[in-house]
Structure 1
Amino acid sequence: MKTKRVILLGATGSIGTSTLDVISSFPDRFRIVGLSAHTNTDQLLQIARKHPEAKTALSGISKADGAEEIDIFGKNAAVELIDSVQADIVVNGIMGSGGLAPSASAISAGMDLALANKETIVMAGDLLLPEARNKGVNVLPVDSEHAAVFQLLKNRPHSEISDIILTASGGAFRTTPLEQLDNVSVQEALNHPTWKMGVKITIDSASMANKGLEVIEAERFFDMNTDKVSVLIHPQSYVHSLVRTCDGILYAQISAPDMKNPIINALSFPETLVSNFAPLDLTGKSLDFYEPDFRRYPMLKLAFQASRKSASYPTAYNAANEAAVDAFIHNRISYLQIPEIVETVLQQDWSEAPIDLQGVFDVDSRVRSAAEKLLAV
């Protein structure tokens, strides 16, 4: 197999650093030709020095603020990077809705897409996945849950699949008494029991908004009815997802909670490379599962509702949550006001489905305006 040329978006984040570790383990198989970050100039330059042929991009600052060694600056830097570099695969580790435009550019350019940005599918999966199929582009999930489902569905016809079950750790407040949730702090929400991730996604894990987004993503990515996707709390985080076939049998993907596993599977697709990233010995370990309580996780309930309604409701769910979480981080609202804001926004009419990406961005903008009016009260 030839050496794959890789563009890594979000190189300084958790997915980015794990991807760099994976690529360093297979220097003959992968070569980094592009690197992007948001504002972390120093860390991006440190990474770039180890990959001197890679073009660099910063999306969160202007050229006047940054180092001369950076090649591309500005809001559209990641898109410009993709447009200016020849690559075989783009790893999109950008957080939030800002990852959508780069995903669309990668598909348009005919590059395979290793996707950790779930918002791409939540907001525009109905538009981008058909385009990827038409272009022969592989869109490969990197989220551990969807990567697990992807592996479990290999060589299985869609007609054999009855259900998809996504697992969740339960986040920082899995055992916190319900009456205490209104007074929890941002720092407490960031105390994730299993994964080390960025601020926003860790808070989303506490509220299970992140799992809600993954429900919507699974429904679209794997062409499943929303009622055929469910969630189980699994505190140990060893079982990353399960599928049930039409004969009632469950199949699980089990591995250590290490993002290097789904990353190497996406990068090497359609091959499976020999690797030894955190092998799991089940001896002496227990596996517990239980249903999530919607009183504790109202954001999960709202996600199922948005997924069933489809149209622009998933985009509205994501944008309202992003606005509300940002307000929580900046101490403008309490933790339990996050689902209150999102629910109020979703009560508005988002029944018109966008016909193109600009339509998606327009909905996203209108939702944020609606959320901000609520936050200003």
Structure 2
Amino acid sequence: MKNIGIVGATGSIGVQATEIIHKYPDAFNVKFLSCHNNINELLSQISILKPEYAVVTGEKAVSGGVTDTKILYGMNALTTLISEISGELDLVLSSAVGFAGIMPTYTALKNGVNVALANKESIVAAGKTMIQTAEKTNTSIMPVDSEHSAIYQCLKGHGNNFIDKVVLTASGGPFRYRPSDSMDYVDIGETLKHPNWNMGNKITVDSATMMNKGLELIEAHYLFDISPDKLDVFIHPQSIFHSIVSFIDGSNLAQIGLPDMKAPISYALGFPDRLNWGAERLTPQILNGLTFFKPDKKKYPCFAIALDVLKEGKNSLMITMNAANEVAVDTFLRGLIKFTDIHRVIGNTLELFESRDISSIDEIISLDNVVREKAKKISQNIGR
């Protein structure tokens, strides 16, 4: 039986993970759950999974006496808990949204706990530090993003020296067929209608801008130690091929399956076993008529920015881009800027910061805070 903790349990990934865990009561024991402010969903999960601890990192509180689970509050309480019970944990699923996942992820790795990583921002902002920490403590990082789970599976038994190219696929989001000169007129409702995946609002916007794919390229670079020139992206509207690895002998391996995040989640939770969680089966007929095409950088300027940042290779720019993107997406979702202003906020913010490498977690967090303040001001000016 695996002892597991879930960071971000009430988000899209966390909810799906808890559904899988509930199907396998003899395989998993949940030590803790955490959420930001979704108390109702947290209490529902507590009633089903009965963890020893639950942590609320936001400002809301759980009414006293409603559960036997010990309730803790604040990010410091969460990281302290992970440290204190690290000897009892086999796995931490890191599925908090955005930069908020960086400290729980780092704390788990630092204390020798394997991480199932659904929080790509941890690697984008602190990839080298996370990888070095995992190596130092002999812990593993199991990717949960569908593309990185696919790469991980394709690379089993193969060294990096045999890789010729790694292709990550992208759905293209809701605007993949929309003319680039009409993007000024898209609204929030259209943006959140993802054609393939059921995800949270932030990642759905990132999919629409294709910033998500830029973040994933950076994540793949660090997770698998692949140089940027060996990474590529194709839009694949059907989302059946999740990634393709080409080898130097001309062979190609691809991980394919119907678009359902429970597949990579279950793989990370169950590894090295596979869990029969009730997936819809892929039939050969579904493979008829699959399409692939290169993304239009004019339509997806956020993606173009991320490519430039990846090529520059300095994580100060990665931290800046990620923080500015989170601010811009939040501002867009609140109706204060246009969809096409998102890349303007990111680009204008990047111009304010120098290119350098940062390894200290404290310095990474400090830079993130500074960037957010600058990006908020830029967002306010653009939105006027």
Residue 171 of structure 1 is matched in structure 2 by 173
CA–CA distance in structure 2, aligned partners of residues 76 and 294 of structure 1: 40
Given the alignment of the two structures, is residue 67 of structure 1 paired with residue 63 of structure 2, yes or no?
yes
TM-score relative to the length of structure 1: 0.95
Task: Provide the aligned length of Structure 1 versus Structure 2.
Answer: 373
Which of 237, 240, 246 in structure 2 is aligned with 1:238? 240
Q: How does 1:127-146 map to 2 (within 5 A)?
A: 127-146=129-148
Q: Following the alignment from structure 1 to structure 2, what is the Cα–Cα distance between the partners of residues 356 and 342?
A: 23
How far apart are 1:14 and its partner, in Å? 1.1
Moved over 4 A (4+): 273-276
CA contact (8 A) 2:233 2:294 kept: yes
Tell me which residue corresponds to 1:290: 293
Aligned residue for 2:312?
309
Deviation at 1:77, TM superposition (A): 4.1
Paired residue type of 1:208 = M
Distance 2:200 2:77 in 1: 21
Which residue of the partner structure matches residue 354 of structure 1?
358
Indicate how the Cα distance of structure 1 residues 66 and 276 shifts in structure 2: closer, same or farther if over 3 A, else same: closer
Q: Which residue identity does 1:137 align to in structure 2?
A: T
State the partner residue of 1:338. 342
Distance in 2 between the 1:347 and 1:150 partners? 35
Contiguous gaps of at least 5 residues in structure 2: none
Larger deviation, residues 257-266 vs 144-153: 257-266
Q: Distance in 2 between matches of 1:118 and 1:52?
A: 28
1:14 alignment counterpart: 12
Task: Tell me the distance in 2 between the aligned counterparts of 1:236 and 1:88.
Answer: 35
CA RMSD of aligned residues (A): 1.5
1:328 Cα deviation after fit: 0.8
Shift of 1:342: 0.8
Summarize the alignment of residues 212-223 of structure 1 with structure 2, pairs less than 5 Å apart: 212-223=214-225
Shift of 1:192: 0.4
Q: C-alpha separation between the residues in 1 aligned to 2:361 and 2:279?
A: 37
Amino acid at match of 1:153: L
| C-alpha displacement of 1:347 | 2.5
The amino acid of 2:50's aligned partner reads: P
Is the CA contact (8 Å cut-off) linking 1:9 and 1:90 kept in structure 2?
A: yes
Counterparts of 1:67 and 1:166, CA distance in 2: 45
Letter in 2 for 1:67: S
Higher share in helix:
2
In structure 1, stretches of 5+ residues that fail to align are none
Matches within 5 A, 1:150-161: 150-161=152-163
Preserved contact between residue 160 and residue 226 of structure 2 (Cα < 8 Å): no
> Which residue does 1:255 correspond to in 2?
257
Separation in 2, partners of 1:77, 1:236? 42
2:193 aligned to 191, 194, 207, which one? 191
Q: Which moved more, 1:309-318 or 1:80-89?
A: 80-89
Specify whether residues 271 and 337 from structure 1 end up closer, same or farther in structure 2 by C-alpha distance, changes over 3 A only.
same
